[in-house]
Amino acid sequence: MKVWNKYRQYQFVYVFVDLLSSLLVWTAFLGFRWLVYEGKVLSVDTVFIPMFNFYLPLILYPLGCFAVYYLSGYYLRPFRKRYLKDLSDTLLSSAVIALGAFFVIIIDDVVDSYQRYTISLLVLFALQFALSYLPRLCVTFLFRHFSSSWPQVYTIHSLEQADVLLRKHLSESLDEVVIDLPDDACESDIYSIINRLYPLGVQIAVRPRLYDMLTGAASIMDVEDVPLVHITEHKMTDMQLCVKRAFDVLVSAIFLVLFSPLYVFLYVLVWCSSRGPAIYRQERIGLHGVPFQIFKFRTMRINAENSIPMLSADHDPRVTLIGRFLRKYRLDELPQMWNVLKGDMSIVGPRPERRYFIQQIEQQAPYYCLLYKIRPGLTSWGPIKVGYTDTIEKMVHRLNYDIVYMENMSLKLDLKIIFHTISVILDGKGK
């Protein structure tokens, strides 16, 4: 997990530099307005910002810049910065920030000529771009050329090399691992390596076979790169992924607050209906194959499994009377909004499973580990098409639908799944 710690450190540096530069931008812009207008360089008498409104923008402007930068996906891959893309991303973000500040603040300025609007907008854009891109460029250059911990690429040519990599913890200094096994290697070996690499937080790529080349699964990240199948790459862009996460945080926070009376009512109902705690916690496997604790309203009597994981079935005697009602309308899943807010889950994503059942699924579908590149969710295409799963065969069937969802992820598709799930819940079509 040292890779993830280093990942966070690099993220923090970029965020800190951006906040500092945005504060400098706003201060310089105020200085420009005072020099040009108050100083009557252009013979204009009015002041842009009255003194009573001086300090609040000093706080809000950097926070606004951070929001734009985050939603643009800039902080998502601190190890994979490319100079040209940094230039275009910063240029676009600066334009959005300048336009936003224009319509929120500058548009209220009392002017005698529209020339002031144009000059103010252009100067703010120029300051925002120059004073944010240059520090970013310096940080990226220093990290790439002078940091001993800048990630490297490691190629695995055999199962023995994979064992050495994991045993000696060489991913502590890696960003990407390329799996390049011989052509006669079986797919189960490849998936076994992928499954073991995911918790390390490294980028994973596989040398493509002929089928991958013909179907377009192989891709190149840069002109100098060789074609690879990038296992951990998302179909969504970095911006879409960050918008998806921001949507999860916003919706889950609002939902937890607005429906807090419902949570209290269901908690009391479950607690009074049968002996045992009202909230049930269980370990599931989530993003990057890392375990987390999932929360649910308890729907079964306590000690229902006797330490042996068991799948639920129709007319399961372990399910309480209140539990059947909660399951029918999916109300038992409501506490998982807390998992969404924490970042363990997303609103839309494949349902997380227990390791015990994952090991059984992998015997029939060794590609289950591919799901680890996205957060598990409250609902997805798999649960909609298959519903509750009471056999391993159904779980494999649901997995295949989730793989299709993952390969076609988009914000539009997420909204469709959410609306369809709401209709299923309202119709009481749950198990």
Concatenate the DSSP letters of all residues of 182-234 into one string: -TT--HHHHHHHHHHHGGGT-EEEE---HHHHHHT--B-SSTTSPPBEETT--
Partners of 283 in beta bridges: 293
| pLDDT band with cut points at 50, 70 and 90 for residue 42 | very low
User: Lowest-pLDDT range, 29-33, 126-130, 250-254, 366-370?
Assistant: 29-33
Q: In this prediction, what percent of the chain has a pLDDT beyond 70?
A: 84
Alpha carbons 284 and 306: distance in angstroms, whole number: 18
Alpha carbons 269 and 264: distance in angstroms, whole number: 9
Q: What pLDDT, on a 0 to 100 scale, did the predictor assign at position 92?
A: 95
CA atoms within 13 A on the CB side of 69: 27
CA neighbor of 25 nearest in space, from 132, 134, 138, 108: 132
Average pLDDT, the chain: 83
pLDDT: is 115 or 396 the higher one?
A: 396
Instruction: State the Rg of the chain over Cα.
Output: 26
| pLDDT band with cut points at 50, 70 and 90 for residue 157 | confident
In this model, does residue 294 exceed pLDDT 90? yes
Q: What does DSSP assign to residue 35?
A: I
Residue type, 83: Y
In this model, does residue 279 exceed pLDDT 50? yes
| pLDDT band with cut points at 50, 70 and 90 for residue 287 | very high
Q: Which helix (H) or strand (E) holds 102?
A: helix 83-104
CA neighbor of 374 nearest in space, from 234, 200, 228, 206: 234
Q: What pLDDT, on a 0 to 100 scale, did the predictor assign at position 230?
A: 83
Domain extents in the chain: 2-146, 152-230, 238-426
Alpha carbons 148 and 128: distance in angstroms, whole number: 31
Concatenate the DSSP letters of all residues of 115-165 into one string: HHHHHHHHHHHHHHHHHHHHHHHHHHHHHHHH-TTS-EEEEE-SHHHHHHH
Taking only the tens place, the pLDDT of each residue in 199-254 is 877 888 888 876 666 556 666 665 456 778 888 888 888 999 999 999 999 999 99
pLDDT: is 152 or 191 the higher one?
A: 191
Q: What pLDDT, on a 0 to 100 scale, did the predictor assign at position 163?
A: 81
Cα dist from 186 to 155, 157, 193, 429, whole Å:
18, 13, 12, 41
Q: What pLDDT, on a 0 to 100 scale, did the predictor assign at position 49?
A: 45
pLDDT (average), residues 287-311? 85
Q: Is 180 exposed, middle or buried (CB count within 10 Å of its CB: 0-12, 13-18, 19+)? A: middle
CB 167 within 8 A of CB 147: no
Q: What pLDDT, on a 0 to 100 scale, did the predictor assign at position 377?
A: 95
Alpha carbons 117 and 106: distance in angstroms, whole number: 7
Alpha carbons 47 and 109: distance in angstroms, whole number: 9
pLDDT (average), residues 93-121? 78
Please tell me the pTM assigned to this model: 0.85
314: left (phi over 0), alpha (psi -120 to 50) or beta: beta
CB 66 within 8 A of CB 97: no
Q: Which two tokens stand for residue 190?
A: 């490849």
Q: What pLDDT, on a 0 to 100 scale, did the predictor assign at position 225?
A: 62
Q: What pLDDT, on a 0 to 100 scale, did the predictor assign at position 164?
A: 80
Task: For residue 382, give the 3-state DSSP assignment.
Answer: helix
Taking only the tens place, the pLDDT of each residue in 353-393 is 999 999 999 999 988 998 999 999 999 888 888 877 888 89
Q: What pLDDT, on a 0 to 100 scale, did the predictor assign at position 227?
A: 79
